[in-house]
Structure 1
Amino acid sequence: MDRTAKAVWKGNLKEGGGTIDTQSGALKATPYSFKTRFEDESGRSGTNPEELIAAAHAGCYAMQLSHFLAENGTPAAKLEASAAVKLTPGTGITESNITLVGDVPGIDAAKFQELAAKAKAECPVSRALGAIKISLDAKLA
Structure 2
Amino acid sequence: MQNQPVAKNPVLIQLPTGLYLGLVCYNPLYENLKFVLEKRDFFEMEWPALMISQEKGLFPALLGLPYITIQRSQILWYTTHIPAELLNQYQSFLPFLGEGGVSGPEKAPEKPLEKPVQPRAKPRKKEEEKIIPFPIKKDYPDAH
Same fold (TM over 0.5): no
Structure with greater contact order relative to length (CA < 8 Å, sep ≥ 6)? 2
More helix by share: 1
Give TM-score scaled by structure 2 length.
Answer: 0.23
Give TM-score scaled by structure 1 length.
Answer: 0.23
